[in-house]
Amino acid sequence: MIELAHVTKRFGDVAAVDDISLHIPKGTFCALVGTSGCGKSTTLRMINRLIEHSDGDIILDGQPVAAYDPVKLRRRIGYVIQHTGLFPHWTVARNIGLVPRLLKWSSADIQAKVEELMTLLGLPVGEFATKYPHQLSGGQAQRVGVARALAADPDILLMDEPFGALDPITREKLQDELSRLQARLHKTVVFVTHDMDEALRLADHLVVMRDGRIVQQGSPLSLLQHPNDSFVESLLGGLERGLKQAALTRIKDHMSPMGPTLPAHSRIPAAFSLRQALSMMLRDHTDRLTVVDQHDVPVGELTLRKIVKEAQPEQGKVRES
């Protein structure tokens, strides 16, 4: 659990982070989003004391971070940065085993952990263990970066724009893997990004920052439904917001039972999102889809009318106000 209470960071007279309060429960994936220079990175780096905060309290598992030895604190917090920061003179295996070695694990334990993590992140041990960072692609290097951060089994993972330097396809692939990993490991993650789509896709809790302050925080859906001001709204994509919200909504929460009419020709799995359902309707020129389970057995149906009416019931209200 991470708790920030009225935290301020001043560089000279300028407040880079200005009186922010944030509560991140254990196992939550929290994304800090904002334009560059909004203080999101500084906030992240105050948690592992790479930057010392000027005012307020940062509390980690019931204890203020200022009470920890900074070095020991950092060893129990995983840290991933944009350009990976892998050591160019060390092999992949040695890079991953860095923190366990600092913690003086036995070499057998380190090796077992390194191999476990490499397998977990899709880096075949035989192929990659002895490679050097410059022999890796950007995506592979960042997998190693994530593995290194996870090596000592930290409860908390800090990620500073980890996929910012990757091409869109690799980025998307790594995002999927990260959410799968998180579903399995339940770490407390603080994730800094300027890419709103990335944040919406990954986060349980979204924090929008501007000029060192928190503008709005909450679940991705609640932010999409009720953006506080035009800044948050534009960050969320303005007119695209409806589609982004649809992308976050599962079909199975909005389908209706099979009606008396014949099932529609187009079929869509229940695990897909409303956005994908809309896309399929546009493609197939239909306003009705048959929803199927993973064995392709029909379980319900979805109509355009229902998506428009029910999926975004709040939309109308926000517009009016």
Partner 1 sequence: MSLLDALPTPQVSWRQWRPNRVLFVLFSAMLAAVWLLDVVSVAPNRIVSGEGVGLIEAMGWMGASLVSAVILTLLALSLQPSRQGYQVVLVGVSLLLLLLPVGLMVASHRLISSDTPMARLNMGMAYWLMLSLLLLGWIELRLRLALSRRRLLLMLAGVTVVWGLCVMLGLESLALGQEFRARDDEFWRALHQHVTLVSASVAISIVLGLSLTMLMRRYTRCQKIAFGVLNFLQTIPSIALFGLMLGPLAWLAAKWPLLSQLGFSGIGWAPALLALVAYSLLPMVRNTYIALEQVSPETLEAARGMGMRNRQRFIQVRLPLALPVLLEGIRITTVQAIGLTAVAALIGAGGLGAFIFQGLGQAAMDMVLLGALPILILALIADAGLGALADILRPNDSVQSGDSP
Binding site for partner 1 (CB under 8 A): 48, 50, 71-75, 79, 81, 83-89, 98-99, 102, 132, 134-135, 148
Long-range Cβ contacts of 265-272 (<8 Å, 24+ apart)? 265/290, 266/290, 267/291, 267/292, 267/296, 267/298, 268/292, 268/302, 269/293, 269/294, 270/299, 270/300
How many whole angstroms separate alpha carbon 73 and alpha carbon 61? 12
- CB atoms under 10 Å from CB of 321, counted, come to 6
Report the nearest approach of partner 1 to the CB of residue 6 (Å): 25
Report the nearest approach of partner 1 to the CB of residue 134 (Å): 5
Report the nearest approach of partner 1 to the CB of residue 70 (Å): 8
**2 vs 251, beta carbon nearer partner 1:** 2
**137 vs 234, beta carbon nearer partner 1:** 137
**21 vs 135, beta carbon nearer partner 1:** 135
Structure tokens that stand for 15 in this block: 């407040």
**144 vs 247, beta carbon nearer partner 1:** 144
Look at the alpha carbons of 84, 88, 94, 100 in this order and tell me if their dihedral is positive or negative.
negative
Are 88 and 132 contacting, i.e. CB atoms less than 8 angstroms apart? yes
Report the nearest approach of partner 1 to the CB of residue 151 (Å): 9
**132 vs 231, beta carbon nearer partner 1:** 132
Report the nearest approach of partner 1 to the CB of residue 24 (Å): 19
How many whole angstroms separate alpha carbon 161 and alpha carbon 85? 13
